[in-house]
């Protein structure tokens, strides 16, 4: 992982505190990865993501806690997710909060990516670690997903629970897995295709009790400034990835326009077009790719009719969908299924 990538100070604090509670000499661990403890006193600071991950690896081993990442989630606070958490707190609903996460996630760190994956009448809020080392990947994904859940329950005051919790890794080699049930109060499954929280599509529109539009605008302005700083430092997440995530979230029986996506990203449609062109892409290409991805998923993994699939991804009628699908894949929806 390039040294240029950085993470917020908040990214390490809950790991640090949990390691200390396990009796780990964190002073030595910080020194080993060349993190100055004084830097952690100011939440505005950032640390190299590489140093964070090296610290996490050492802390997991030294703690002797087989559920280190999961248990560290108990230490969440209002500022756990930095400015991203405050933005979510002031949104009107989970849907709007996820839209904002897609735009500003890289402000808080570069160790993973959030996606929305439609699954029949449900959606999976997925978080994927950018680290492929199995030990760090498991603990970081368990920590982030458990922290999301605790943040929604304890900070946002949302009492909704996921229908299922998924982890792509195998269950840890411990006799008692009840700690997962104690945290999530929902069925927890391992060895799934993704890691995340499975919720009903309706839960995306759960209202947030502390929504504040004026505060949200102020926080968005601050996040935009930080994004610009990342762009100058070469750390910004690709625009293509952010647009893809927004399309997945917003395509629901209608097609989100380029203008609407640009508005969510805080730029003009012309600026968005130029940004995509600089990455060798166009909005039309991305939209077609996501519609194909979603169509193939629904045809393979659901009992939805061809007509229902066509409507779900924004086609006016099944005939238009069948014609487009044949152009994309060389096969009819029926034969593909």
What is the pLDDT, as a whole number, of residue 235? 46
What is the pLDDT, as a whole number, of residue 237? 56
Low-confidence ranges of the chain (pLDDT < 50): 1-4, 235
Q: How far apart (Å, rounded) are the C-alpha atoms in residues 39 and 47?
A: 8
Structural tokens at position 295? 């169509």
DSSP E strand stretches across 187-333:
188-189, 196-200
Pairing of strands 112-119, 122-129: antiparallel
What is the pLDDT, as a whole number, of residue 253? 67
- Number of DSSP helices (H) and strands (E) in the chain, helices first: 16, 7
Pairing of strands 164-166, 188-189: parallel
What is the pLDDT, as a whole number, of residue 4? 46
Let me know: does 133 contact 57? Beta carbons within 8 Å.
Answer: yes
- Sorted by where each starts, the structural domains of the chain and their CATH numbers stand as 6-205 (3.90.1520), 238-337 (1.10.10.60)
- Convert 255-268 to b/e letters by CB count within 10 Å (16 or more is b): ebebeebbebbebe
pTM above 0.75, yes or no: no
How many CB atoms are located within 10 Å of the residue 195 CB?
A: 24
Give the largest Cα separation in the chain, rounded: 65
Distance of CA 197 to the CA centre of its chain: 10
Q: Which residues contact 48 (CB under 8 A, 6 or more apart)?
A: 3, 5, 6, 7
What is the pLDDT, as a whole number, of residue 1? 38
Let me know: does 198 contact 162? Beta carbons within 8 Å.
Answer: yes
Let me know: does 121 contact 175? Beta carbons within 8 Å.
Answer: no
What is the pLDDT, as a whole number, of residue 167? 96
What is the pLDDT, as a whole number, of residue 231? 67
What is the pLDDT, as a whole number, of residue 121? 81
């Amino acid at each position: 992982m390039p040294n240029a990538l950085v993470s917020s100070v908040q990214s390490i604090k809950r790991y640090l505190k949990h390691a200390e509670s396990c009796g780990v000499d964190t002073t030595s661990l910080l020194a080993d990865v060349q993190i100055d403890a004084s830097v952690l006193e100011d939440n505005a600071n950032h640390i190299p993501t590489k140093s964070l991950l090296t610290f996490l690896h050492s802390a997991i081993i030294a703690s002797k806690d087989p559920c280190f990442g999961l248990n560290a989630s108990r230490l969440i606070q209002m500022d756990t997710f930095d400015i991203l958490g405050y933005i979510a707190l002031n949104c009107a609903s989970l849907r709007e909060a996820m839209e904002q996460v897609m735009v500003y996630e890289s402000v808080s760190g570069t160790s993973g990516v959030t996606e929305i994956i439609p699954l029949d009448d449900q959606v999976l809020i997925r978080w994927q670690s950018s680290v492929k080392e199995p030990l760090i990947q498991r603990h970081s994904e368990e920590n982030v997903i458990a922290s999301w859940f605790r943040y929604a329950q304890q900070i946002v005051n949302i009492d909704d629970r996921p229908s299922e919790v998924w982890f792509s890794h195998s269950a840890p080699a411990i006799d008692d897995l009840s700690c997962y049930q104690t945290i999530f109060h929902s069925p927890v499954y391992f060895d799934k295709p993704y890691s995340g929280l499975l919720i009903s599509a309706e839960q995306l529109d759960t209202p947030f009790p502390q929504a504040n539009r004026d505060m949200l605008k102020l926080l968005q302005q601050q996040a935009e400034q930080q994004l610009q700083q990342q762009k100058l430092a070469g750390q910004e997440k690709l625009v293509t990835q952010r647009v893809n995530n927004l399309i997945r979230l917003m395509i629901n029986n209608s097609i989100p326009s380029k203008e609407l996506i640009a508005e969510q990203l805080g730029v003009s449609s012309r600026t968005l077009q130029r940004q995509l062109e600089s990455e060798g892409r166009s909005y039309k290409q991305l939209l077609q790719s996501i519609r194909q991805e979603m169509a193939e998923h629904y045809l393979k993994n659901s009992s939805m009719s061809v007509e229902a699939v066509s409507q779900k991804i924004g086609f006016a009628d099944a005939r238009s969908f069948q014609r487009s699908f044949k152009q994309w894949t060389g096969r009819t929806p029926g034969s593909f299924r």
